[in-house]
Every structure is written in structure tokens, then in C-alpha cells.
Amino acid sequence: MKSRERSRFALIVCASVVMLVGCSGSQPPIGVLRVSNLGGRIVNGRFIPQWPSPASDALDLQARSGPGIVLRQRVRTDAKVHPGIYASQYQSDDVFGYQVNNLKNNPPTCEVPTGYAGVDDIAADIKGDLMITELDSTRVLVLRGPKMCGPELGSISDPYGPTDVASLDAQHGTIIIGNLIDGGSNPAGSVSVCTLSGGCTLNLKNPAMFEVAGVALAKNGDCWASAQNESGTATLTYFKGCSGSGEEATGYHSSPLGGLDIDDFGNIVSINLTEASVYNGCNPACTLVGGPFSLQGRATFGHVNHDSTLLATADNQFGQVDVYHYKPTKITYWYSFSNGLNPSHIVEGAAFTPRSREGPDR
């Protein structure tokens, strides 16, 4: 590993523990800690991120709401359309499948043993096929849906180390993969454009994407990447037709960097640790539709259900999945579940299956 990469990775690891135990030597200025929200480890010379789970206000949140609290409300339910919710943990090789409305905090109905720890975000496509990002194995697994925990359809080798993934048709169509850092002499974040049969054939970069967290793919073929630039400012980059050099979106203020999704109305849902915001357009000008809305616990990734009436986030603060009633202009906490999840393994991904279909022609 080159000296620049080695020192930069060391800063990332140091920053992740500075509030708990400190680091040797003098503490760098706050401005230098541009990736202070990220921790991780180095495996075979490659940085493996650990998304944040700070606990500075955990007791306060727990006292006010309590993890696992259930608020009894009625929602639209159609098990034939969206059969469940998946949850992943970063320090585990299992992805768990749960019933769609798990208000009683029941255990998983099934699980997928991936064989590798370092599972990051997960996502479903329109048919309910599941995509699993694996940082340690640098691959994305695709499982057949809509039945929960279906058989493996195949995998994609992504040499840069995937953190997020999105597709409308994972078996036959385009799959985009977000890469936190893609290596090379001048490492920076990127988006890989791939198919299950052909692998990754295009790597998208933009100066605003120093480190990439989330990706989103629209049914018209456009795609976005949430990132932070080299100064540590959160950015959103728009790629028309998911190609070219991209344009930095204007009017985007979600910070720090986090996951993305697209709801049934074509809005971009942005998750950024303590809040969620909803934007329209962003091609490249964004219009804020709703938010920022406070989240129950801290999360990096989350996804809406097929008709965009619910939002699930991976709460790495309390080790659970939080479920919200969703409207573009209002997000309201509903309930949480944690049965089968281990808070020390860092709850990382949460996804309804199938995903939003983006429009009335669903």
C-alpha cells in the first residue's frame, strides 16, 4: 500500500475510536477528520469500512422511546406483494428474513448464510430478488425472489469493495454498485455499472465523490451516488443514463453521507445517520419535498416498500430495524424489531422486498 493510502486509512481507523479511547500522538484538527463518521479495518491492504454507531445520546433516546416499542396502528398489508423485510449485520455473514409487519418482534422466518462477514447494505428489486453486498469478498450476491431467502441466482465480482447496490431487475437488467473507495494511485469513491451475466463493465467517477455511501437507480436509467467530497461535505452526483462523468446535484443538504432509495413517486429518499430527507428532481437541481425527519436511532441505510407507504432503516445505535409510516412530506415512527439481531454485530442494512416500482404503472 502506498504511503498516502496507508496514512489515510490509519486516520480513518483512529477517527473511529477517538471519542472512546483516543489515539496515540496529538489529535488532528477537526477539519482533518473528514471521515470521522467512518471506522474500519484493513484486510489484505484494502480498507473495510465500519459504518458509525455512536452512543453519545443512546440513553436519552432509549429513555424517551425505548428500542422495540410498538405503536399500534393500521397499515396497508398485502403479503402477496411484499412478503417481508430483510436485515443485515456488518460483522456477521448472515442476512435474516422477517415477516412484513413484525410488530410482535418475532424471530426471523429464514436466513441466508453468505459465508463471509462484512455484509454491508442490502436491497431488493421490483420482482423481489435480493442483492447482498459483501465487502470482505468483494462481491454482490443475487438471490431469487419474491419468496424470502430464495436460491442464489449468481454473484458479481466487484474489485473495489461494494457498500451499496441497486437494480430494478437484478437477474436480467443493470445493477449499480457503490464503492466507498476504489483503490489505485489516487483512490476515490465510484459507481460500478454491472449485470449479473456480464459483470462490471463501467466505473463512474466524479470529483464530488471522494467516498461513496449510497446509490439509487431510476427506471429511466438515470442513477445517483451519495458521497462526501475531499473536504468532507456531503454530495449527491447525478449520472444521466448511468454513464459519463456526472453532475453534482444542487440543493442537496443531507449530511453526513448515507444511503439512498427512490420511492413510488420518483422521489429520492436520503438517509444520513440521524435524519431522512426526501428530494425531487436532482437532475441535477434538487427540490426538497419533505424533511429532514428525525430517525428513531442512527442509521446509514434504509429502503421503502413496494408502494412507498413504509420505510425501514437499519438502526445501528440500538441494534434493531426501525419501521416508519412513509409519505414524501411526512415520516412517522411506527415500531421496531430486534429478535435475532446482535447489537455488537452492527445492524447495517434493512430492505423491504420487493422494492418501490416508481409510478402508477406498477
Domain boundaries, the chain: 3-50, 62-353
Strand-strand pairing, 84-89 and 94-99: antiparallel
Of the two residues 107 and 362, the one the predictor is more confident about is 107
DSSP conformational letter for 242: G
Tens digit of pLDDT for each residue in 79-108?
Answer: 355 589 999 999 888 999 999 999 999 999
- How far, in Å, CA of 117 to CA of 270, rounded? 26
Please report which residue ranges of the chain form alpha helices under DSSP H.
Answer: 3-17, 58-64
Place of cell 419533505: 290
Distance CA 206, CA 190 (A): 8
CA distances (Å), 5 to each of 33, 181, 211, in order?
Answer: 15, 11, 13
pLDDT given at position 304: 97
| pLDDT for position 82 | 52
Radius of gyration of the chain (CA): 19
CA dihedral 218, 220, 223, 224 (to 10 degrees): -60
Q: pTM score > 0.75 for this model? A: yes
pLDDT digits (tens, 9 = 90+) for 41-64: 444 444 444 444 333 333 233 333
CATH 2.170.190.11 fits 62-353, yes or no: no
Most confidently modeled range among 7-16, 117-126, 163-172, 174-183: 163-172
Residue 157, pLDDT > 70, answer yes
Q: Could you tell me if 267 and 283 are in contact, meaning their C-beta atoms sit under 8 angstroms apart?
A: no
pLDDT > 70? residue 149: yes
Omega of the bond prior to 146 within 30 degrees of 0, cis?
yes
